[in-house]
Amino acid sequence: VFARPAARGAESELTHLVDLRSAALAMGPAEAGLFAYAAAMLHWNRTHRFCGTCGEPTEALEGGHVRRCAMPTSSRSRSTAI
């Protein structure tokens, strides 16, 4: 599953953006689960941009499932998502 936040003004006359909770009502359990997982990954990557130990920026690896501190000496050089 690939997901990214919607850009402001991304709606057009051919598209209509809805929030995940509203869309989940029209989905089956498997689809809703995938979309919930994608939303959780977006949130995790958005809220873990910096190392919790030294404050340096982190970089996303392995499709966003891992974030690594830019400081090679950091004790938290790898942090795994969800």
Supply the pLDDT for residue 57. Answer: 92
pLDDT at 8 over 60: yes
pTM over cut 0.75: no
Across residues 43-72, what is the average pLDDT? 87
Residues 6+ apart with CB under 8 A from 63: none
pLDDT average, residue stretch 24-36: 88
